[in-house]
Structure 1
Amino acid sequence: MCHCEELTVNDLQEVFAFGARSFDDLKRMSRCGMGHCQAKYCYHHANELLATWMGVAESELSGTNHRIPIRPLPLKMLIGSDL
């Protein structure tokens, strides 16, 4: 299901059983979508599964909060060195 975090559909079903009702819930509870692709590959499939399990249309689900950096930082600022 989420190749980056090595999660299966069964893993997400367990999280759903514990109360996940949005992609952000899945993300917080299982790390789905937090890998290298940043949910580019699993987001729509995960929402499709959630909609099926909840018995609602996918359009009724809330979206996710994509957060991007405000501005890129040079690596030397992060390590505090004059490279």
Structure 2
Amino acid sequence: MKKYLIFIFCFVLLYIVFQILSGWLLTALYTPDISSISNIASQEVVSGQASIISFFATLLVATLAYFLSQKIFTTSKK
């Protein structure tokens, strides 16, 4: 049970860090569409689409959390 709790803690921590860093990067690299400025009367909100990349990113974070939790668990036994 201890291994599972360490894994969940590491996974949640890495996932939150990943979300914050990716949000920061996307915000920093955002360039507004200049052509939409002339059409100010339109109040349309466009949201992003889900992609397979987020799935693989989540798998990567889970894998990192697993190996990190294994390292923490094995070093605590010494």
Pairwise same-fold verdict (TM > 0.5): no
Structure (1 or 2) with the greater helix fraction = 2
Shorter-chain TM-score category?
Answer: under 0.3
Which structure is larger by alpha-carbon Rg, 1 or 2? 2
Q: Which has the higher contact order (CA 8 A, sep 6+)?
A: 2
